[in-house]
């Protein structure tokens, strides 16, 4: 067993070497995860905002379920998506099993509740603050949602990043529905699992460091974007 | 007003763009590929990395391998999620064919199982070539033994050997008999960590990178023979199976060409798999 310093050096070596296979794996990881996060936001942001901004019967139940679904076990989601997409399953004719699309579907199911539940909380807090203004100005329901989402956009960026973190680190679901097929559905996490099972622990750990570096880069990019948006808003 | 339009437009746009980007990818890819449901031992030992490029160069057919335990591979194939099944548990393979899921089973190659253990050798079995005797000693000394416990081909073979030795490991489960419920590599990582004996196929062991100070304790018993078989999934039962492409892979693996490619695969100068498909099949 080597120490972490050597592992770190190996990880940097892996990045600098920019091995074609590694680039392919990183690209697929980002493609799958970012697609899942974008779809999850497209569904979760408006849904969470609706639940957060309005009172309706059963709202408490919906909130409890949303919050509980944040803890969906990836393996279970993978299994359900596998059973759906399997040739023997209802969606079998689509032939999506063992494709990146199957992985995007599984991760979207994992990330959407996180985005929706956190959005609900953010919007609900803001709604309390805005409700009198909305009432006095006679703002309609759709404009309310739009205004709330817009004004909460920086908090919601962090919500999206939480979803990204969940998806990019996840292995249980994508390995079942993707099959970890070399050059087709192999992503960072499934590669780490594979190298661990081959007993190549140093390589696995180095790949883990690379994955962490990617997460840092994505987060830094989003924060930089946010900072420049804030600057231009007050310029 | 602008914000509202912007938000709804952005929403519709992102969903459409993302889904089409995601969905178009598999459609755009060439359809000349097959899915082979196989086992971790064939993948982790590096055999497929050696074998598949030779086949793809020759035929232009891409082979996508899903490497799971034999039990799961058979279940996936029985769901129609694969064109070819390449595993190592003969009775289960024959059942698969008898149930109509497979066309025909062919012998491909063999290697053997070994028991690896720590240098302290708590059961005193190092150097033995009598597996039943060795297992009896492990049980009587209650030396830790790490089992796959995952219904894989190796797990099935291991349980058969315990049965031959007349030992009920179910009773010892959680005590000295520890079921990891995971793949061969994960079980080797766990087992070597807890100083347990582990049964593994020789190919995975030779290629394994985290051996520590472990060595082979038991080997060379005929009962530890490990036969691999290949089966084309039956298109009559599973209409989406690519019979023609799948058949050309099966035919190649058991052909003289494929068989010599298997024999030529070596790690550290050691041959990992020994081809034994009947000649002319």
Domain count for chain A: 1
> Within this chain, do residues B133 and B202 fall inside the same structural domain, yes or no?
yes
- Identify the domain containing residue B85 by its residue range: 28-111+227-275
B182-203 as b/e: b if 16+ CB within 10 A: bbbbbbbbbbbeebbbbbbbbb
> Within this chain, do residues B53 and B129 fall inside the same structural domain, yes or no?
no
Q: What is the phi/psi pair of residue B178, to 5°?
A: -120, 115
Residue A34 CB: number of other CB atoms within 10 A?
Answer: 18
> Is A234 part of a structural domain of the chain?
no
Residue A15: the pLDDT is 75
B51-82 as b/e: b if 16+ CB within 10 A: bbeebeeeeebbbbbbbbbbbbbbbbbbbbbb
- Identify the domain containing residue A145 by its residue range: 20-186
> Is B140 part of a structural domain of the chain?
yes
**In angstroms, what separates the C-alpha of A233 from chain B's closest C-alpha?**
15
> Is A31 part of a structural domain of the chain?
yes
The SS3 assignment for A142 reads: helix
* Least confident among A17-31, A147-161, B255-269: A17-31
Q: What is the phi/psi pair of residue B260, to 5°?
A: -75, -30
Residue B203 contacts A, CB cutoff 8 Å: no
> Is A207 part of a structural domain of the chain?
no
> Is B23 part of a structural domain of the chain?
no
The two tokens of residue A84 are 């759906």
* Least confident among A16-25, A131-140, B27-36, B85-94: B27-36
> Is B135 part of a structural domain of the chain?
yes
For A51-80, the pLDDT digits (tens) are 999 999 999 999 999 999 999 999 999 999
> Within this chain, do residues B158 and B201 fall inside the same structural domain, yes or no?
yes
Residue B29: the pLDDT is 47
Contact between B226 and B88 (Cβ < 8 Å): yes
Residue B79 contacts A, CB cutoff 8 Å: yes
Q: What is the phi/psi pair of residue B145, to 5°?
A: -135, 125
> Is A84 part of a structural domain of the chain?
yes
**Among candidate residues A175, A115, A69, A81, the one with its CA nearest the CA of residue B183:** A175
> Within this chain, do residues B62 and B102 fall inside the same structural domain, yes or no?
yes
Residues (pLDDT < 70) of chain B are 1-30, 280-281
Residue B27: the pLDDT is 40
> Within this chain, do residues B200 and B121 fall inside the same structural domain, yes or no?
yes
The two tokens of residue B200 are 């593994």
The mean pLDDT of A204-227, rounded to a whole number, is 92
> Is B100 part of a structural domain of the chain?
yes
Interface test with A, best of B13, B26, B101 (most A CBs within 10 A): B26
> Is B176 part of a structural domain of the chain?
yes
Q: Report residue A12's pLDDT band, with 50, 70 and 90 as the boundaries.
A: confident
Domain count for chain B: 2
> Is B13 part of a structural domain of the chain?
no
> Is B19 part of a structural domain of the chain?
no
Contact between A144 and A134 (Cβ < 8 Å): yes
> Within this chain, do residues B210 and B258 fall inside the same structural domain, yes or no?
no
Report the predicted TM-score, pTM, of the whole model to 2 decimal places: 0.87
CB distance B189–A196 less than 8 Å? yes
Residue B21 contacts A, CB cutoff 8 Å: yes
For A163-182, the pLDDT digits (tens) are 999 999 999 999 999 999 99
Residue B24: the pLDDT is 45
> Is A27 part of a structural domain of the chain?
yes
Residue A184 contacts B, CB cutoff 8 Å: yes
Q: Report residue A6's pLDDT band, with 50, 70 and 90 as the boundaries.
A: confident
Domain CATH for B176: 3.40.190.10
Domain CATH for A45: 1.10.3720.10
Contact between B123 and B197 (Cβ < 8 Å): yes
For B120-171, the pLDDT digits (tens) are 999 999 999 999 999 999 999 999 999 999 989 999 999 999 999 999 999 9
Please give the Cα distance from B69 to A186 (Å, whole number). Answer: 18
> Within this chain, do residues B118 and B247 fall inside the same structural domain, yes or no?
no
Chain B residue with CA closest to A41: the answer is: B11
The mean pLDDT of A122-144, rounded to a whole number, is 93
> Is B12 part of a structural domain of the chain?
no
> Is A135 part of a structural domain of the chain?
yes
Contacts of A143 in chain B (CB under 8 A): 1, 3-4
Residue A5: the pLDDT is 78
Window 14-53 of A, Cβ < 8 Å to B? 35, 38-39, 41-43, 45-46
């Amino acid at each position: 067993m080597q120490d972490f310093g050597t592992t770190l050096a190996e990880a940097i070596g892996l990045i600098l070497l920019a091995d074609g296979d590694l680039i392919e794996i990183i690209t697929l990881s980002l493609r799958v995860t970012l697609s899942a996060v974008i779809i999850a936001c497209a569904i979760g942001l408006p849904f969470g905002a609706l639940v957060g901004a309005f009172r309706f019967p059963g709202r408490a139940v919906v909130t409890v379920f949303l919050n509980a679904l944040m803890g969906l076990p990836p393996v279970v989601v993978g299994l359900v998506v596998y059973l759906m997409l399997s040739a023997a399953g209802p969606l079998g004719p689509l032939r999506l099993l063992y494709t990146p699309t199957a992985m995007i579907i599984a991760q979207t199911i994992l990330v959407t509740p996180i985005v929706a539940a956190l959005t609900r909380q953010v919007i609900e807090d803001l709604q309390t603050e805005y409700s009198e203004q909305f009432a006095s100005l006679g703002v309609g329901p759709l404009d309310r949602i739009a205004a709330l989402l817009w004004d909460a956009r920086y908090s919601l960026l962090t919500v999206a990043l939480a979803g990204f973190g969940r998806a990019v680190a996840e292995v249980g679901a994508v390995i079942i529905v993707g099959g970890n097929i070399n050059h087709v559905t192999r992503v960072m996490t499934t590669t780490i699992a594979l190298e661990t099972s081959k007993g190549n622990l140093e390589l696995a750990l180095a790949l883990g460091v690379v994955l962490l570096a990617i997460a840092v880069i994505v987060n830094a990019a989003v924060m930089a974007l946010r900072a420049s948006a804030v600057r231009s808003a007050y310029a | 007003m602008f914000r509202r339009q912007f938000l709804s437009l952005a929403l519709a746009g992102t969903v459409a763009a993302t889904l089409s980007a995601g969905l178009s990818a598999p459609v755009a890819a060439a359809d000349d590929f097959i899915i082979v449901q196989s086992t971790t031992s064939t993948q982790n030992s590096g055999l497929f990395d050696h074998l598949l490029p030779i086949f793809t160069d020759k035929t232009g057919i891409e082979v996508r391998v899903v490497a799971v335990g034999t039990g799961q591979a058979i279940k996936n194939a029985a769901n129609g999620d694969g064109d070819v099944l390449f595993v190592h548990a003969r009775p289960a393979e024959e059942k698969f064919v008898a149930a109509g899921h497979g066309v025909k089973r062919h012998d491909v190659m063999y290697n053997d199982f070994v028991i690896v253990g720590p240098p302290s050798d708590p059961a005193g079995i190092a150097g033995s070539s009598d597996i039943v005797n060795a297992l009896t000693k492990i049980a009587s000394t209650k030396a830790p033994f790490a089992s796959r416990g995952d219904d894989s081909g190796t797990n099935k073979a291991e349980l058969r050997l315990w049965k031959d030795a007349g030992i009920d490991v179910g009773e010892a489960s959680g005590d000295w008999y520890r079921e990891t419920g995971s793949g061969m590599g994960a079980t080797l990582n766990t087992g070597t960590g807890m100083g347990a004996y582990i049964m593994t196929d020789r190919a995975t062991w030779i290629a394994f990178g985290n051996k520590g100070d472990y060595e082979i304790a038991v080997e060379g018993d005929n009962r530890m023979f490990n036969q691999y078989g290949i089966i084309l999934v039956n298109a009559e039962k599973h209409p989406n199976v690519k019979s023609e492409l799948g058949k050309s892979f099966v035919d190649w693996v058991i052909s003289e060409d494929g068989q010599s490619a298997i024999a030529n695969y070596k790690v550290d100068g050691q041959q990992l798999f020994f081809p034994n498909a009947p000649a002319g099949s």
